[in-house]
Amino acid sequence: MHKKKKMIISQETMDIQFVRKVEALSGTSVRRCFQCGKCSAGCPMATFMEHPPNRVVRLLQLGQWRRIIEGRSIWYCASCETCSTRCPNKVHLASIMDALRKLSWDAEGPSKESYVQLANKLFLDNIRTYGRQYEMRLAAVFNVKSGQFLKDMMLGPKLLSKGKLKMFHQKNKNMVEIDKIFSRIEEMRRKGEAL
């Protein structure tokens, strides 16, 4: 743990190619950040992160992307956009976070934060399978796959009695169309037409 804190900046650890990808995906400049720290000051999730938002950008400026994607900070961002709203130099940090998660996701998530990634994956699977969210299934499969069988069990009966838990998924006649959207995006990525 102690050793990990030491940062070695060398040609081996710096990867500017990665930074360019982040800038292309997010449409915002990493270099514009002058480390005022306003993003971290207003971030509701900073207390849960090992690298607060401004440090994520600093690490990126130094090409130290491994440190970022191996950690849990990017997965604890709630996408509330407070950082982007308050940045005095127009760095769209929420979009940078999106880009970092995408690149980490593509690298099959070396991060230890698996619950958030699992929830995201199940959410997207539901869209492809049903066209819309199926909340009941989302919660049930999450509990099974994360091994937390009793999580939120106390809420179940309460939600059922209030009609908030629907046993069946919503119907959608456009299912062929939705699958085509997913497939076309996969195809574009295979051909290198999109990141």
Partner 1 sequence: MSTLKYSYYPGCSLHASAGEYDLSTRELFKELDIALVEVPDWFCCGATPAHNVDELLSLSLCAKNLELAEQVEGDLAVACAACFSRLKFTQHTLGENETKRTQVEKALDAKVRLDGNVKHLLDILARDLGLDKLAGVVKTPLKGLKVACYYGCLLTRPPGVPNLDCVEAPTIMEDLLAAVGAETVSWTHRLECCGANFTLSRPGVVLQLTNAILESAKAAGADCIMVACPLCHGNLDIRQQEIEGVYKADYKLPVFYITQLVGMACGLTPERLGLEALIVDPKTLLKEKGLL
Q: How far is the CB of 47 from partner 1 (least distance, A)?
A: 8
Select the residue interacting with partner 1 from 132, 144, 156, 157 (CB under 8 A).
132
CA–CA distance, 55 with 5 (Å, rounded to integer): 13
Cβ atoms of 81 and 91 within 8 Å: the answer is no
Instruction: Answer yes or no whether residue 190 interacts with partner 1 by CB under 8 A.
Output: no
Are 44 and 80 within 8 A, CB to CB?
A: yes
Structure tokens at 5: 């804190």
Task: Pick from 16, 20, 44, 107 the residue near partner 1 by CB under 8 A.
Answer: 44
Q: Does 51 contact partner 1 by CB under 8 A?
A: no
- Residue 182 touches partner 1, criterion: CB under 8 A: yes
User: How would you classify residue 29: left for phi > 0, otherwise alpha for psi between -120 and 50, otherwise beta?
Assistant: beta
**Span interacting with partner 1, options 14-22, 33-41, 55-63, 163-171, rule CB under 8 A:** 163-171
Residues of span 1-20 touching partner 1 by CB under 8 A: none
Nearest-10 Cα torsion for 129, 131, 133, 136: -50
Is residue 127 close enough to count as binding partner 1 by CB under 8 A? yes
| Cα 99 to Cα 13, 30, 39, 195, distances in angstroms | 20, 12, 17, 10
Which residue from 7, 144, 177, 179 is in contact with partner 1, where contact means CB under 8 A? 177
Is residue 140 within 8 A of residue 126, CB to CB? The reply is: no
CA–CA separation, 103 and 107 (whole Å): 6
Tell me which residue of 151, 95, 96, 141 sits closest to 119, measured CA to CA: 141
Residue 56 Cβ, how far from partner 1 at the closest point, in Å?
A: 15
**By CB under 8 A, is residue 41 in contact with partner 1?**
no
Q: Which residues bind partner 1 (CB under 8 A)?
A: 25, 27, 44-45, 48, 76, 78-82, 84-85, 92, 94, 98-99, 101-102, 105, 115-116, 118-120, 123-124, 126-127, 131-133, 135-136, 138-139, 142, 151-152, 154-155, 158-159, 162-166, 170, 172-174, 177-178, 180-182, 184-185, 188, 193-195
